[in-house]
Structure 1
Amino acid sequence: MTSPSELTPITAVTAADPYPWYADLVRNRPFGWDEGLGMWVAASAEAVTAVLGEPALRVRPPAEPVPAGIVGTPAGDVFGHLVRMTDGPAQQRYKRAVRAALGHPRTEEITGLAAERTTRALKHSGPPPLRELMFSVPARVVAALCGLDDEAADEAGRLIADFVQCIPASATPEQQAAAARAAAALQGLLTPYLDEHGTGVLGKLIRAARRDGSPAVAHEDVAPLLANGVGLLSQTYDATAGLIGNTLVALATGVAEAPREPGRWRALAREVARFDAPVQNTRRFAAAPVTVAGAEVPEGASVLVVLAAANRDPAANAAPDEFRDDRSDAAIFTFGAAAHRCPGEEVAVAIAAAVVAELLAQGFDPASLRRPVSYLPLANARIPVL
């Protein structure tokens, strides 16, 4: 186990309790250069807000908008159109379409789909398949929201597990090749549902893009929209898995209590997203020299944005180390901010809340989870191994 004195902003992601270390980072090094990582680190709510709102700090290195290992493959084609991986006017145009499409599914619809898929996963005998509930069920729910039938939704849930392997910088050639195959299959799977007459999110996506006057869609080039259909599934995968898992850990350790009122589950999941963020950090890359928190960040520099530390900054949230699911004005950086704030925030929270609520309703006791909890060896996502 890593001792607190040995933690870095990367190793803290999988530490048993990184939050005292994050608190020290916020107090004493809210923004600065980390020699060991070779990048700038933003930790305080003020610094994180400034970095996420700075147009010169991009989501990808300007010289490598698509990872070299997937350029020219179906995975690269998808990656290059994702609104979470691009900047500029086109990104904002397509993001408005994504936001408009996601704004339509009712919470009751999402909750019903998640509960039904959870029940289906629990039907076999033996211990609950927690990994399936964390990873596969949310992807199937989003696929169903996109309009896919049950068989296609199940296939999408399997394929997205391979596609997301191309996103981390640590992806191996084998993972990138598997991601390319998965991207091609996902494009083929989703294409029939990208129909302006469709009732699912993909149908709403193409209608929203056409209302917004997207020139690409006007010329029938739907590749960016198809890519962002894949993106909806990929963003669901790790982040929602972490939110479900960390909610179960909060219940298991007594940090949180199961709500007595069904309508309070979403508030609990939202507080977990702040208190024990499933996405602990993200990165930005300077396309030009920029000043952040009084420091001069040169062109070409990288910035690690510690979202989980900002969530616990007392300047942003009162009594930040207390778990309080009755916060009405919580500042939650987990879902990003400004141009790249996650458009699927409400969907992720609703899915996580419904999966955990249904699991407990069917008799699962979170206290049965093994201790101590360990986490998948990831650089930015905090996902417990349950």
Structure 2
Amino acid sequence: MSEQAAVRRSLRALFSPRGCPDPYPHYAVLREHAPVARLPDGTVVVSRHADCDRMLRDPVFRVEDDEWIGRTWPEGREHHTVYSLMGEMVNQNSPHHERLRRLVSRAFTPRRVEGLRPAVTALVEQLLTGLAERAAPDRPVDFMAHFALPLPIAVIGELLGVPEEDRPWFAPRVQAVTSAIEQNLTGDALDRADEATSELWDRLGQLTELRRADPREDLVSTLIAVRDADGDRLTRRELLANLVLLYSAGYETTSNLLGNGLAVLLERPDLLARLRGEPDRVGAWVEEMLRFDPPIQIASRWAGEDTELGGESIARGTQVIALLAAANRDPRRHPDPDVFCPDRPPSRSLTFGAGAHYCLGAALARLEAQVAFPLLLKRFPSILPAGAGAARDRVTSLRGHTRLPVLLG
């Protein structure tokens, strides 16, 4: 097969409606033979670490904001989901992004995140007990359904101050919004997301009114009270949109980090045994999980002016997709990148982005994984895979398992 044919095949595999169960060989083809590739619609795809890092950091490359929607899909603004998404700080460019991030970050300080450690530990222990109650020596239990998915919902609920009995209500609605994003905000998925977004706004709006009347030590109360030196504050749209963002981003990213990380360990019993014996080094293991099979695979921008990337001309208005997972396995950045090795020197991956839009919730996702894995392996020293899991069948911004059956022993 010629190089051009291999590139075309890899692009079709990665961006076809069915997606690809194992994208990494295709990422390798693109890195080697077409590090700056173009799709038939003109979208540019970059796969090497240096180019992905440049795209994420250079303000020339803008997130898909209201201006982008107005130019490419003006009728999209009629959908409540799109209206909410465009109010999120991750979909804002300078100077609006800096303003929103400054306000929201006051409620997301390292001290606040670290202060959640006892609550996260208690939630992990509670879910592990639930796993044990569902399992039997010869009966598998789904790690995703009964641990990886409910944990981040519970943690975000704890952070926001959502009553424990109300937290399960959020999961299917957050999933509806995420599913629509994965399906490019089209069809029935978008209709379901619009309904879910309306319900989320109503519920979160009620919570904000309660916290205005009765402030507590939670993130919602902090966001309501937040002000800067000039008296700036979040509008109602910004407040509710970013509360939905915190739920959706914290939910899927962390659940897939947990599932992908455990899947790697189950494939390598030697790794499983080693991590069980060195729980104090779990931070390095989580970093390698984030690099090796990241829960976030793709980031998208558009060129705000004519520029270049990787030696190729990029016209203003061109959409650019960075294959973050491909960058994480770039041998120019990471030696032996296809080998899982928790002994690598500190070298942060691009999984949580880079530059101004670096993920605000990265520390919380890391905390959850660092608490979860040692406790899981200590509680179940004989954990084993129970047949093949069910991976997502689409290559979008997220990668993970819809089902991961395990035997707990």
Band the TM-score falls in, shorter-chain normalisation: 0.7 to 0.9
Q: Quick check: 2:297–2:398 contact (8 Å CA) kept in 1?
A: yes
Question: Hey, what's the Cα distance between the residues in 1 that align with 2:327 and 2:185?
Answer: 28
Q: Residue in 2 aligned with 1:29?
A: 34
Q: Say if 1:60 and 1:285, in contact at 8 Å, map to a contact too.
A: yes
Over 3 Å counting, the alpha-carbon distance change for 1:68 and 1:173 in structure 2 is farther
User: Partners in 2 of 1:184 and 1:200 — Cα distance?
Assistant: 23
Tell me which moved more, 7-16 or 84-93: 7-16
Determine the structure 2 residue equivalent to 1:224. 238
* Contact 1:140/1:156 (<8 A) preserved: no
How far apart are the structure 2 equivalents of 1:151 and 1:74? 27
Instruction: Note the 1:29-178 alignment, pairs <5 A.
Output: 29-30=34-35, 32-36=36-40, 38-60=42-64, 62-64=67-69, 71-103=77-109, 104-106=112-114, 108-109=117-118, 111-119=120-128, 121-122=130-131, 124-126=133-135, 127-132=140-145, 133-178=147-192
In the other structure, the counterpart of 2:368 is: 351
Mapping of 1:239-318 within 5 angstroms? Answer: 239-254=253-268, 256-257=271-272, 258-318=275-335
Structure 1 letter corresponding to 2:57: G
The aligned residue for residue 202 of structure 1 is: 220
In structure 2, the partner of 1:235 is 249
Q: What SS does the corresponding residue of 1:167 show, helix, strand or coil? A: helix
Deviation per CA, 1:279-331: give whole Å up to 9, x if none: 11121112322222332101221111010111112332343333222334223
Q: Distance in 1 between matches of 2:282 and 2:206?
A: 35
Aligned equivalent of 2:407: none
Larger mean CA deviation between 12-21 and 225-234 belongs to: 12-21
Distance 1:367 1:260, change over 3 A: same
Paired amino acid for 1:128? V
**3-state DSSP of counterpart to 1:324:** coil
Letter in 1 for 2:153: A
Aligned equivalents of 2:360, 2:68: Cα separation in 1: 27
Moved more, 34-43 or 293-302: 34-43
By how many angstroms is 1:162 displaced? 1.8
* Partner SS, residue 282 of structure 1: strand
Structure of greater Rg: 2
- Tell me if the contact between 2:14 and 2:20 (Cα under 8 Å) persists in the aligned partners: no
Partners of 2:62 and 2:249 lie apart in 1 by 18
User: Structure 2 stretches of 5 or more lacking a match?
Assistant: 1-5, 405-409
| More helix by percentage | 2
Compared CA separation, residues 125 and 329, structure 1 to 2 (3 A): closer
Counterpart Cα distance in 1 of 2:390 and 2:242:
34
Superposition RMSD on alpha carbons, in Å? Answer: 3.0
Instruction: Please report how far the alpha carbon of residue 275 of structure 1 lies from its aligned counterpart in structure 2 after TM superposition.
Output: 0.9
Residue identity opposite 1:74 in structure 2: H
User: 1:323–1:145: structure 2 CA closer, same or farther, 3 Å change rule?
Assistant: same
Which of 190, 196, 200 is the matching residue for 2:204? 190
Rounded Cα–Cα distance in structure 2 between residues aligned with 1:179 and 1:67: 17
Cα deviation 1:205-234 (Å, max 9, x = unaligned): 344x413646343xxx33202211110111
Deviation at 1:34, TM superposition (A): 2.2
Find the partner of 2:338 among 286, 296, 321.
321
- Counterpart Cα distance in 1 of 2:149 and 2:230: 35
2:23 to 18, 21, 30: 18
CA distance in 2, matches of 1:181, 1:16: 30
- Specify whether residues 186 and 67 from structure 1 end up closer, same or farther in structure 2 by C-alpha distance, changes over 3 A only: farther
Secondary structure (helix, strand or coil) at the match of 1:305 reads strand
Shift of 1:51: 0.9
| Cα gap change, 1:57 to 1:161, in 2 (>3 Å) | same
- State the distance in 2 between where 1:293 and 1:378 align: 23
Give the Cα separation in 2 of the matches to 1:140 and 1:307: 28
CA spacing shift, 1:59–1:121, aligned 2, 3 Å: farther
Cα–Cα, structure 1 residues 376 and 239, in superposed 2: closer, same or farther, change >3 Å? farther
Indicate the residue corresponding to 2:232 in structure 1: 215
Conserved in 2, the CA contact under 8 Å of 1:84 and 1:340? yes
**TM, length-normalised to structure 2:** 0.82
